[in-house]
Chains A and B, each alone.
Chain A
């Protein structure tokens, strides 16, 4: 078990493609850490560079107190679980799990004992003599995990661990992985493009875009206070409302409608500055009577989300969505007003999409 420390890590592919761009990151010992981002953002390259499968162009990777930048993958004491699990189809489950131990030179009886132990831990007890082809997707994943566990590595790396499972199994595996990681206490980095997965599993996460980290934080921090409009757009199962506006005194003018400026943003903006107001649909309250500081619109679309519904209002110049509890949807075509819960409105600079105040100074509401 060890921490991971990345300093100025850069990976440039031939053709001057900067997949990972001067990246600094520290992952604490025992942490369950997610690398999240859209496809092509460099998250998998980053994971593979930590693993040593890709050679860093510059910068260093430290695992615990060792600088492993120049070490081959086999000497970094880490185990990786691939998206397709990478099980050897010609070997039994027991041979698959014990393969790393075989390479390490353990005698057959000894490594089989360890394989059985690891298998038992992941309830693969009766399957040790089967071939991977005879297992379900979930079982295959557990074999891959058992193979990773059996060597007692310092670090686990998971590449999209859940994406090959069907939707229902994915939820189970999510809980299972989280519990397993907690029990083993091994520092784990996993890559995902699914924000819900990252929010659900990770202790902390890094949101990446174009080879850079846009925000690092706990699930709550990233969800409630995205550092930029990019992160705001990416995180959350319903997209955040991002409304362009202009600062006017202690309020923001959004296409002719005025909403109050959050108190903690007020000192960071100037009168007449272009901003983007961000507020999650979950934090908006919808009412069918006019209220002070609320945005007015006409109900255009209602999407059923199960226990709630997403109501989209159309106003002159923008649309805004809010969630309402199930059964309280307004009729389509009705006038409605939405107002943000206290402290849930974020103000971004229109120029660079960052929060108007320094993200570190932000007190989480």
Chain B
């Protein structure tokens, strides 16, 4: 940078100095005006991202509460919140539930179902394909609150659609199978993304390579293993990374089970909400949020590592 700013004056003497300031950028704006253009965006980023992050970092080391004395005069407690969280069985439970939730609903559920849908849709007639795609997409784009209401209606114990369909009156899905319910719900809700991504990925496999496999007599599974998968490997990892992170941070289960019954669906985002907002322990909640952020980073690094490896 220092070199760049130093260079122009050295070259200037030969040129007949066209303007007051020499613009080094392509658009010829100059530093001042360029900064002015970027400022509104930077301001928004600062207010909504940088400041909350720093604030979380700060209150994470305090005993700040939503109400009471500590709300007015929080005290610095150092790493106590972190130590508490890491030793807290309810936090362990939440972390475990989150990992199960991510593994079954995203890594396995959305991934496999999305891939299966993308692959079978490719052979369908265009009209049918549009219809199925639109339906799957609807599940994705309808607002969470509406979707949650639909699922409550579906799973209701007394008047639920599912009980009517399965002829199992009185079965309380959200009490007897709460984790399974939100896993199935999340698969239903998020598969559209995987389906779209895999549809695009599958379209990028050259037809001649698939036909070469057919000509040598490769089975479906062999074609998938030797031709299709190597081509879409990057897509699979990218997709798994994205849906893992989204699911990890997904708050929608709260709208269906609110973490219950008995904390059996209290995944980390719900746990944070329950402790920080409902329980009022803002400092503690902030500390858990930061731990969650670190876990997110670890997951992301893991996938990026895989992505970088050739083969």
Chain A residues near B (Cβ < 8 Å): 51-53, 72-75, 78-80, 82-91, 99-100, 103-104, 151
Contact = CB atoms under 8 A, between A and B. Distances in A.
Interface in B53-105: none
Given A86-B206, A88-B226, A90-B311, A103 B218 contact: yes
Interface residues of B, number: 17
Q: Is the interface of A mostly helix, strand, loop or mixed?
A: loop
B216 A151 contact: yes
B215 A99 contact: no
B18 interface: no
11 contacts: A51-B215, A52-B215, A53-B215, A73-B214, A74-B214, A75-B217, A83-B208, A89-B230, A89-B231, A99-B226, A100-B217
Contact of A84 (B208, B215, B226, B230): B208
Contacts of A91: 230
Interface of B: 206, 208-209, 211-218, 222, 226-227, 230-231, 311
B206 A103 contact: no
Given A99-B226, A103-B222, A88 B209 contact: yes
Contacts of B218: 74, 103
A155 to B, nearest CB: 11
A74 to B, nearest CB: 2
Nearest to B210: A86
Contact of A99 (B216, B231, B311): B216
A72 B217 CA distance: 8
Given A73-B215, A74-B218, A80-B215, 15 more contacts: A51-B215, A73-B211, A78-B215, A80-B211, A84-B206, A85-B208, A86-B211, A86-B212, A87-B209, A88-B209, A88-B227, A103-B218, A104-B216, A104-B217, A151-B216
Contacts of A100: 216-217
7 smallest CB-CB distances across A and B, nearest first, come from: A74-B217, A86-B208, A100-B216, A90-B230, A82-B208, A86-B212, A73-B215
A151 B216 CA distance: 9
A160 to B, nearest CB: 11
B212 A80 contact: yes
Contacts of B230: 88-91
A86 B227 CA distance: 10
A80 B206 CA distance: 15
Contact of A53 (B206, B214, B222, B231): B214
Contacts of B208: 82-86
Contacts of B222: 103
A91 B212 CA distance: 14
B309 to A, nearest CB: 13
A103 B214 contact: no
Contacts of B214: 53, 72-74
* Residue of B217, B226, B311 contacting most chain A CB atoms (<10 Å): B217
A30 B215 CA distance: 21
Contacts of A75: 217
Nearest to B227: A88
B231 to A, nearest CB: 8
A53 B212 CA distance: 10
A82 B207 CA distance: 10
A53 B208 CA distance: 10
A100 B226 CA distance: 11
* Residue of A78, A83, A87, A88 contacting most chain B CB atoms (<10 Å): A88
B216 A53 contact: no
Nearest to A14: B125
A82 B212 contact: yes
A79 B311 CA distance: 28
B10 to A, nearest CB: 43
Contacts of A99: 216, 226
Given A74-B217, A84-B206, A100-B216, A53 B211 contact: yes
A74 B215 contact: yes
Contacts of B215: 51-53, 73-74, 78-80
Nearest to B311: A90
Nearest to A76: B215
Contacts of A80: 211-212, 215
A91 B185 CA distance: 40
A190 to B, nearest CB: 15
Contact of A82 (B211, B216, B231): B211
Contacts of A72: 214, 217
A5 to B, nearest CB: 20
Nearest to B211: A53
A66 to B, nearest CB: 15
A208 to B, nearest CB: 21
A85 B211 CA distance: 11
Contacts of A78: 215
